[in-house]
Amino acid sequence: MSVFRRIYNFYNDKVYFNLLLKIALPIAIQNAVSSSLNMIGSLMIGQKGEVAVAAVGLAGQVFFLLNLLLFGIGSGAAMFTAQLWGRRDIPDIRRVLGLDLILGLTVASFFFVLSRFFPRFILGIYSQDPAVILAGSEYLSIYAWTFFFFAVTFSFALILRSVGDVKAPVVISIGALMLNAILTYGFVFGNFGLQELGVPGAAVALVIARAIECIAMVSYTYISKSPVAVTIRDFLQIDFSFIGRILVPVLPIIANEFLWSMGVTAYFVIYAHMGTDSLAAMNIVSTIDQLALVVLFGLTSATSVIVGNRIGAGEINEAYLYGGRSLGLGAVIGVFIGILVILLSPFILSLYKVSPEVITLAYKTLIVVGCFIWLRAMNAINIVGNLRAGGDTTFSLILDGVIIWVLGVPMAYFAAFILNLPVYYVYLFVMAEEIAKWSFGLPRYFSRKWIHNLVKVVVV
């Protein structure tokens, strides 16, 4: 049998593609809109110069840490609810969501206190530029109010996705993002009769948009009588025994996201200490990178749901096959997107009003980004879509949270401060982390040792 025939037979599964499109397409659309509007916001801030871009980018790194910790908590909860939904266990789904909300709001409170009352201290860790720290502090102290709203919205959205309700969270988020873009344009430049606030105006716009998004998400959940509509009773029924059974596999995910997010933070500290031009360039690259990965993020999220559902329903072989199909799709789509990034980068960068030096650094970095997107896509799908969905959280912790510190951060430091290379070469050295993940992660997938039925953990 020819190779092409085998590939055709492997992907000749209408059920898989129907499930994939049902979940991945709305998420991809949401992420496309989100990343597009984020880039528009970045462009608007970019009209104020590289100091403004660097300042907002640094403040965004604080939210990045919060976002990843919430993702660790939420994806851990969704890992359970996806499998519980496979057997339609609604009471335990609600109990898991209740625990998710408690943990999420606790983390959000911690970040709020730091960002609201000690913004200069936090941003001083990243940069020594007084102008960047001042502008970033003004932005961050306002931005901090969004943390509570986001924690609640994020928890509901992830759990709704895990039970197959994808469209509503997407519509609500898209509406909030569009509102944020309009308000940002108004508050930053003084349009629509609003007061011109400059860079802090972008933070005010986010607070308003996040508050409305949160109200809409919670209202939808209860008005529609969703199976995830957690009640006060569900909070009261969360006993210590239940919490312990949930946290054993979830804590490695939280630790994973914490270590990985701190590793990425270390990267940005290194970029910042290489100079404001390097930092501004990497913030621009990050915005474009997020837009480039929207389809692949949708594929990763969908894989996590459908693999988890299959494991919870006892369909182990289907779960393994679905995960493998997504890995192959991720590689092919990643190559195509990488080519587009390289070809379109000059046009996108021409829209920024920053120095030629920043543009040059960003363009050369984006070439490296384009070459490695396929590899990063496979790693994300394998770690988040397969291993975590299968409850293999300890191995995922080593693969994702430990390797970045053992290999990625030391390589970045070596390239930046020992070899004194420009930022695009530093980013190339960082990709050693992705190569290591791929080398150790694929054999783990093929071993099937990552497949665990978590329903047995909850239901005793």
Q: How many angstroms separate the Cα of 371 from the Cα of each of 335, 428, 442?
A: 8, 10, 20
Spatial distance between the Cα atoms of 289 and 283, rounded to a whole number of angstroms: 10
pLDDT tens string 226-260: 888 877 777 666 667 777 777 777 788 888 888 98
Of 9-13, 201-205, 368-372, give the lowest mean pLDDT range. 9-13
Highest mean pLDDT among 57-61, 233-237, 407-411: 407-411
pLDDT tens string 88-108: 777 778 888 888 888 899 999
Q: Output the pLDDT for position 272.
A: 84
Its pTM stands at 0.75
Q: Output the pLDDT for position 446.
A: 94
* pLDDT reading at 444 higher than 80: yes
Share of the chain above pLDDT 70, in %: 92
Q: Higher model confidence: residue 120 or residue 440?
A: 440
pLDDT tens string 21-50: 887 777 777 666 665 655 566 667 666 666
All residues at 6 or more sequence positions from 276 whose CB lies less than 8 Å from its CB, including other chains:
50, 51, 54, 127, 129, 132
pLDDT tens string 358-387: 899 999 999 999 999 999 999 999 998 899
Q: What is the secondary structure of 105-154 as a DSSP string?
A: HHHHHHHHHHHHH-HHHHHHHH---HHHHHHHHHHHHHHTTHHHHHHHHH
* Confidence class for position 296, pLDDT limits 50, 70, 90: confident
pLDDT tens string 160-198: 887 778 788 888 888 888 888 889 888 878 888 778 777
215 φ/ψ angles, rounded to the nearest 5 degrees: -60, -45
**Most distant CA pair in the chain, distance:** 69
Q: Output the pLDDT for position 388.
A: 86
* Confidence class for position 426, pLDDT limits 50, 70, 90: very high
* Helix, strand, coil shares, percent, the chain, to 5: 85, 0, 15
Of 73-82, 198-207, 327-336, give the lowest mean pLDDT range. 73-82
Q: Mean pLDDT across the stretch 301-311?
A: 86
Of 150-154, 248-252, 270-274, 375-379, give the lowest mean pLDDT range. 248-252
Q: Output the pLDDT for position 369.
A: 95
* pLDDT reading at 458 higher than 60: no
Q: Output the pLDDT for position 370.
A: 95
pLDDT tens string 313-327: 788 899 999 999 999
Question: What stretches of 313-354 show up as alpha helix (H) in DSSP?
Answer: 316-349
Q: Output the pLDDT for position 405.
A: 95
Question: Closest Cα partner for 446 from 336, 365, 327?
Answer: 327
Q: Output the pLDDT for position 232.
A: 74
Q: To the nearest whole number, what is the mean pLDDT of the chain?
A: 84
Q: Output the pLDDT for position 56.
A: 77
Q: Output the pLDDT for position 47.
A: 67
Q: Output the pLDDT for position 38.
A: 58
Angle at 27 between CA 205 and CA 404, to 5 degrees: 85
